Structure formats: structure tokens, C-alpha cells
Amino acid sequence: MTQLHKTAIILAAGLGTRMQSRLPKVLHRIAGLPMLTHLITSLTPLYDQIIVVTGPDMPEIAALAAPHRTIIQTERLGTAHAALIAEPAFGDGVVTIIYGDNPLLTAPVFEALIDAVSRPNPAGLALIGTHPPNPGAFGRIITDGPNVTRIVESAEATSAEKSITLCNIGGFTAPAAALRSWLRTIDNHNAKGEYYLTDLVARAHADGQAVQVIEAPWELCLGVNSRAELAAAEAALQTRLRAAALASGVTMTAPETVFLAADTILEPDITIEPNVFIGPGVTIAGNVTIRAFSHLEGCTIESGAIIGPFARIRPASVIGAGAHVGNFCEVKATHLGPSAKVNHLSYLGDATIGARTNIGAGTITCNYDGNAKHRTTIGTDVFVGSDVALIAPIDIGNGAIIGAGSTISDNIPADALAIARARQVQKPNRAAAIRAARSKPKDQ
């Protein structure tokens, strides 16, 4: 049996005027990732091709969508017009058209749409509906008994129609041939003078086709047209991510204060204390503790490590198994070896640090010379005293010891003791003389 070909069209040409932003609407982020990325991630397992319809002068969208194809809508004449521009790419099989500002929809919703129009005795058209707590400006789904007959936009709806609570979200799915035919007949005879994609329902009904609504929970259907709606979508997705983390075996003592990225990978038996922020690209192994007020992004934390409190782990860092990064420490592009420790008030940038090495309080790697970054390499079982400055590029051998307060600019061989500070000078009784001088009254 020939496999059904499936195409997804994402409409992403909107300027997002209400966002008050120069950034295209679908590039605004929730849970650390652009809205468009969320949709592409949900669609990818189900569809053979994904096509993004963008507006002119939106190269950022094309770059983000790659390797998926983009098509430019040079005139913004409405959602049906945008879909019709993509029509030559429909191919055969089934096509889903989805709005780019619905980032929270999940793969099971799209799977239900596909099933509705491809199973035995299929519907001719399927769409997503929901019951918003405040239907407001949503288009209402109009039915005649079991049959969906049309969608009426809020601006066109009568008082009776506005009392309907089942509302359109989008996600129109139909066989490609039928979809082509219906799109070509949609006109712009309405209050806004636009070609509405929602008119597909009336066209399918007039064609004698059954139209099925796939009802999705409201928390999956939050569209984003303003900063307030962006914040609401963020909150909804964070609730979903936290629930999934808890269900997978992660302990969060105050989950409502923990922020996760959509791509965060968490193994069981992790403990996350309050007020932790985890940005994109983080993988955390089991038996790790992330203490309060820590910030992580683009990093890997290996089993048994302890992070924080008040620690910042920046991109391209790997914290080895059993390693400790303590309070007010920042680590950037650094590999901290197994059981190594950097516990207090230190900065490690562009460094490789061996197993069991101890980094003393106030230590910094001086990795930037004003023009380029340079790397610090520290071996295993090294002891770095407090308040040490390591001027990169530099190599410190296994087992070396560096005295507190040193500024190190030369390589240190294995097992050497390095001290680089001025010799202490003491002047007996000078402190008492200074205090006496200070206590004399000043001349008037």
C-alpha cells in the first residue's frame, strides 16, 4: 500500500503589530525557543514536508526554518491568500495549514487531524476547535446538528453566534486536491476585505463534505498576538514542562519558581531548588543537585554534580561527574573534570580543568586580551589557592600547587609549587605611630 504523503504549511508572514516589535512575530521566544521552532518540532515527526510562508524582508525566518522551504507572500491579503501562494507545493496526499502564532499545539493534535481525513469513511475537512475561557475575538464554529457548516469571524458574528463557545483555532487539514479547489473560490467580501482561510469550512460544506472538529484543550491553543499573550503562552508551557519533569522523576521543591527550556533534558533523581533558570541547550544527568538562584544554558551537567547556589553555567561548558560549582561562580566554555571543585566567587572561562582539581576562592582565568580569547589548561589533582589570576594561554601540569594571591603568566610543570606575588614587608610599631598621627587635631 502506498504511504500517504503529508504536507504542513505554516503561515508566518504576520508582522505582529500588536507585539510592538521589529522582530517577526513567530521569532519571539517561549521557553527559550522561537514560536516557529516549537511548531516545526511538533510537525516534523508526522509530515513529509514542511513549508513556511513568510512576508518580504524576513530572512531571519528562512534561516530559522532551514532546511525546510520558505515561500514569500509579497502582499498580505489574508490567510487564504497566503495558503494559496503555497498551493504549488501541496503535492498529493494530505495538507495541513497552521498559523505560526499557535506554538503550543502538540503532535497528537496534528495526528488527530491527519487521521480524521485519511481513515476509512473520512471527513472532507478537519480543523482544531477549543472552548476558550473568554471567546472574545475568536471565530465561532457554526453547526447544524452534527455537521459543521461554517466559521464566522467575531467581527461578522451576530449576538446569537457570539454566544457559541466552540471556537476556531485553525489547523485546517484536507486532501490536497480538495483544498486547492476550495482555496481558489474564496473571496474577500467581508468587513476586513481579506481572504479568510476560515471560509474553507463553508466551501467544504457546500461541496457536500463532512467537516470534523478536533477539540483540543485550551492550554494547547493559546495564540500569540501581543506581549501579554506571549507571557500567557510562556506560563502555560512552563506549567506543562514542570509537570513533565516531575512525572519523570525530578524533584522541584518550588516548581512554580523554576523555569525550563523546551529542549531541556532531565534525567531522573535530579533535585532543583527554588528560583532556578534553565535556558536552551541544557542536559542534566541523574543525581545532580541544582541549588537555588542558579542560571544554566547551553551546558551539560554530569551525574552527581552540585551546582550553586547562585551559580552561572554558560554555553559550551561541561561539569563533570561529582564536580562542584559553588556560590557566585561563573563558568563559560569550560570543561570541569570529575570531582573537581570551584566553590566560591570564581570565574572560569575557556578552560579545561582536570579531575579532582581544587580552584580556590576568587580565582579567575584571564582569557581575553582585548582582541581574542585564549585557553587555560589545568591538569588533574592541582591545587589553586585563593585569589589567583591565571593569564591565558597557559598550561598547568598535574599535581601542581599555586600559592594564594598569585598572578600566573608562565606554564607550570607537573608537581611544581608556583608563587607569584610581592614579598611581604613588615615595619614594627609603625601602625601605632600612624594611629597617633591621625588622632592629632588639625590646624585651624
CA distance 117 to 112: 9
Alpha helices, DSSP H, located in 140-206: 159-162, 176-183, 200-206
| Catalytic-labelled residue, pool 5, 131, 344, 374 | 344
Using an 8 Å Cβ cutoff, are 382 and 399 in contact? yes
* 325 membership: H or E segment, kind and range: strand 324-327
Q: Is 160 exposed, middle or buried (0-12, 13-18, 19+ CB in 10 A)?
A: exposed
Q: Are 411 and 395 in contact (CB under 8 A)?
A: yes
| Strand, helix or coil for residue 372 | coil
Neighbours of 106 (CB within 10 A): 14
In whole angstroms, give the CA distance from residue 294 to residue 260.
12
Instruction: Please give the Cα distance from 168 to 198 (Å, whole number).
Output: 8
Q: Between helices 107-118 and 35-43, what is the axis angle to 10°?
A: 50
- The residues that bridge with 174 in the sheet, in sequence order, are 95
* CA 145/CA 67 separation, integer angstroms: 44
295 catalytic, yes or no?
Answer: no
Q: At a CB cut-off of 8 Å and minimum separation 6, what does 262 contact?
A: 30, 31, 32, 33, 37, 38, 41, 237, 241, 280
- Positions annotated as catalytic residues are 344
